[in-house]
Amino acid sequence: MNQRYLIPLTAVFLLFLLAYVGVEGAGLQVVFGVLIPYLALLVFLGGFLKKVLGWAASAVPFRIPTTCGQQKSMDWVKQNSIDNPNTTGGVLLRMVFEIFLFRSLFRNTKAAFNRNASNKLSYSWEIFLWAGALAFHYAFLVVILRHLRFFTNPVPECIGWLEFFDGIVQLGLPGIMLSGVVLAAATLFLLGRRIFDAKVNYISQAADYFPLFLILGIAATGIAMRYFTKVDIVGIKEFTMGLVTFNFVIPEGVGGLFYAHIFLVSILFAYFPLSKLMHMGGVFLSPTRNMANNTRAQRHVNPWNYDVKTHTYDEYEDHFRDKMIEAGLPVEKKE
């Protein structure tokens, strides 16, 4: 088994055991249920803010948007106003498509040698990657929003409607939440792609596998609590509301699986600002996406350029006149 994904898998399993044994064996409910979640939230907020402010302060003197279509030119040349916008409105439209529909990933292709055509290089549409990524992100969003019911009292009506539609498939009791199943399936798909696709596996590092295994661990412990171990929901509600109100309550009868779930979520929050997961905030500040490509209509000058002493031709000729005459080069002034 490749160490690049064996080590992250082992790390996630050890983190699960650390919390589970720490609660069941040492009674460290306060540590894994209160102290670590608060610390993880502080690391997440501080790290996220630091990253975003750092990106916002980065110098971007020129227009460097990634373009995938015809730029604004002559009136008789049709412009691609979404993939090559030259106005703020076009940029906003492009960003909406990028953030909510992953437009650039939708247009992505993969290259492969076609052995049936004398190893000719061919390109194909990666629709499954786009669908898997879209399902993963939206399922994750629904799961996060649905969990807000544990941190609010009364529960907002919109969260109730979201939970109703998420659990509209009633197969036994408790009803199946589609978001949890889709999240686990989409994560397995993205993980399998990294493991079994030779090209993707070649460029993948341990840092690419760790968040996938961590999210799988979170999903697995959540599914186990909902469908198999049947934890005390009332006790968990009291516990989460205690975290929100700083009136801590350690519920009775809630075992180590719940605290292991909370611990893995805390690790994900703390790891978030240090990882590639920060693309969630970076997509809004990426100059390759959020800038209008109007270089043909407007000249852009680097505002950070310092004054440079220019060397005029007259000064150049005065300096090299003798050598120019000696070399037979024409000069404007003889002396």
Same domain, residue pair 299 and 310 = no
Query: Which helix H or strand E contains 142, and what residues bound it?
Result: helix 127-146
Instruction: Inform me whether the pLDDT recorded for 145 exceeds 70.
Output: yes
pLDDT at 114 over 80: no
330 and 270 in a single domain? The answer is no
Same domain flag for 123 and 47: yes
The H-or-E segment that residue 10 falls in is helix 3-24
pLDDT recorded at residue 150:
92
Residue pair 200/193 in contact (Cβ under 8 Å)? The answer is yes
Residue 12 in tokens: 């996630």
pLDDT the model gives residue 19: 96
Q: What is the pLDDT of residue 172?
A: 61
Whether residues 288 and 309 share a domain: the answer is no
Band (148; pLDDT cuts 50, 70, 90): very high
The answer to whether 195 touches 206, Cβ cutoff 8 Å, is no
Q: Identify the CATH number of the domain in which residue 181 sits.
A: 1.20.950.20
Judgement on whether residues 312 and 247 belong to the same structural domain of the protein: no
- The reply to whether 251 and 321 lie within a common domain is no
Number of domains in the chain: 2
**Are 219 and 150 in a shared domain?**
yes
Do 149 and 191 lie in one domain? The reply is yes
In this structure, the number of other CB atoms found within 10 A of the CB of residue 73 comes to: 12
Which range marks the domain in which residue 311 is found?
A: 305-335
Q: Tell me the per-residue pLDDT of 36-57, one tens digit each, with 9 for 90 and over.
A: 999 999 999 999 999 999 999 8
pTM of the model: 0.85
Same domain as 315, residue 293: no
8 and 140 belong to one structural domain? yes
Q: Looking at the predicted structure, is the pLDDT value of residue 1 above 60?
A: no
Domain match, 297 and 328 both: no
Per-residue pLDDT reduced to its tens digit, 200-211: 999 999 999 999
Cα–Cα distances in angstroms (integers) from residue 60 to residues 119, 210, 287, 291, 301, in the given order: 42, 32, 7, 10, 11
Same domain, 10 and 130: yes
